[in-house]
Amino acid sequence: MPQYNPPLRDMQFVLHELLDVTGQLKSYPAHAELDADTINAVLEEGGKFCSQVLAPLNLSGDQEGCTLDRETHAVRTPKGFKEAYAQYVEGGWPSLSSDPTYGGQGLPHVVNQSFYEMLNGANQAWTMYPGLAHGAYECLHAHGSPEQKQLYLPKLVSGQWIGTMCLTEPHCGTDLGMLRTKAEPQADGSYRLSGSKIFISGGESDFAENIVHLVLARLPEAPAGSKGISLFVVPKFLPQADGKLGARNPIFCTGLEHKMSINGSATCQITLDGAAGWLVGEPHRGLAAMFVMMNAARIGVGMQGLGLTEVAYQNAVAYAKDRLQMRSLSGPKATDKPADPIIVHPDVRKMLLTARAYAEGGRAFAMWTTLQIDRSLVTDDEDERRECEDLVALATPIVKAFLTDNAWLATSHCMQVFGGHGYVKEWGMEQFVRDARINMIYEGTNTIQSLDLLGRKVLADNGKKLKAFGRLIAEFVEEEGVREDMQEFVNPLADLGDKVTKLTTELGMKAFGNADEVGGAAVDYLRVVGHLVYGYFFARMAKIALDQVKAQGDAVEPFYTAKLHTARFYFAKLLPETAGLIRSARTGVAPLMAMDEALF
């Protein structure tokens, strides 16, 4: 059975040495008492929950899956899942970064996000339930009425209630403007919702006494398309005035999807048969309100990819050190054994280092992105808030797509390290690969994320957001470019930055003549920009490692030596992928669209 060890040392490095989270946030009143010891203690305890409670349920949960009672519409989750959630609630984990006004602990989101990486590394399917509940909390916190906040937020923050988002319908996925679910106004100010939803993660479960569904629907005579969508809160059980649960609301799970993986997560078909709901925010502005939850979910999916990359790497390394197979090409290394451990072979090391680099680069980028979210929420400076929000808007599609694309590659590599054993269920590696595959699809496919990045986040504002990130790179290059020992990192970073600028300008000019050029280049473009971002963070991490190696001398902590090796591997073996991607992006849309449809 696979094991999971929380990557606490690297998390501490990213949070304290790379990002200086406490230094960045202590000047704001909301986090004035924040200190590194508190962050470390929280993550250490969270890591114990992940490794000791959740990880042992991952393999069995995948094999057992969820069960639907069609008569009662109740869903039973795999053995141990419900009990693990009770421990999660008892430990106060749902409230970690929530507003103290509603019972939260008020810790920064960046701490919560680190915890969620560990949750996902231990058991992605289980983590989807509380993850969606936190998203529902965020949405209602931002757009709910005072009455809705008072009714729902304390229950979501405590974990007593759980939440979901109900978007997709049988005939429409990402194109939500086509949805048909109807909401009829009632005399008491409520609405009656009727329609069908599919692919609703956690749409029904046995975790909590109530489920708070956030549902997109159309009011009568609503405008066509996405401008006619409203958002409603639709509880499974109707809360009464005294806070107790009343009648069962007719929003039911009518089927479970039979999936390739994440089998412990109930992916539900949902039917609303005149279910009572209440409008959240303004009429016809539901999609904008729901984007709070959707964007949080997109970053959350990136964290799923990161968690899987880390756990797959850990298990592959352990196996590679233990598995004996053949001799090293340069001569025997384990002379006391009949063969060498496979970690001596160059390509095995390449696969392991690829996974390691994608985990460490993804962790740095995701935590930096979440830190910008924290800054945007606590600052009173409007310019600072807009700057942070712009950087988060730029980063979100990259976090979602680049981290999950890399997870697919990394988990596949790590399964390959196991050879035939990787294809066998009991080792758990093939589950990581299967789990990783959905992350490239849901919450907006990675192609949708690529279109969002190039079309909306870059070209739509003439590159303003991209230039803001580019200034961070330029400042770093100018500051560190004079160091001889930083040339191997600074030079390729600066070179790629120039190439991204030229590519962006070229694609923008092409798009003026033919908008399909965006579609033809977007996926390649996102991957190039993803490498630019990782290159920036690996260069920063290499600088810290170099400084520590110099300062500590022969007594240097091995962590810094390993960090330096990983950074060098990234620049030597992974960053060069951008050359082919840039060439592919420049070929334009013609090779994709020239062939007549009849010839397919």
Structure tokens at 198: 């599919």
The one-letter amino acid at 73: H
Could you tell me if 75 and 204 are in contact, meaning their C-beta atoms sit under 8 angstroms apart? yes
The answer to whether residue 443 is catalytic is yes
The one-letter amino acid at 586: R
Structure tokens at 521: 């280049």
Backbone φ and ψ for 47, nearest 5 degrees, come out as -65, -35
The one-letter amino acid at 242: D
Could you tell me if 355 and 413 are in contact, meaning their C-beta atoms sit under 8 angstroms apart? yes
At 236 the three-state DSSP class reads coil
The one-letter amino acid at 559: F
Round to whole Å and give the CA distance between 291 and 286: 9
The catalytically annotated residue of 430, 443, 480, 517 is 443
Could you tell me if 54 and 400 are in contact, meaning their C-beta atoms sit under 8 angstroms apart? no
- DSSP conformation letters of 268-305: EEEEEEEEEEEEESSTT-HHHHHHHHHHHHHHHHHHHH
Round to whole Å and give the CA distance between 491 and 594: 39
- DSSP conformation letters of 320-371: HHH-B-S--TTS-S-TTSSS-BGGGSHHHHHHHHHHHHHHHHHHHHHHHHHH
Round to whole Å and give the CA distance between 185 and 217: 12
CA 564 to each of CA 81, 361, 551, 557: distance values in angstroms, whole numbers, following the listed order? 40, 13, 14, 12
CB neighbours (10 Å) of residue 580?
12
At 264 the three-state DSSP class reads coil
The one-letter amino acid at 509: M
Round to whole Å and give the CA distance between 34 and 32: 6
Helices 516-552, 558-569: crossing angle, 10 deg rounding: 150
Which residues are known catalytic residues?
443
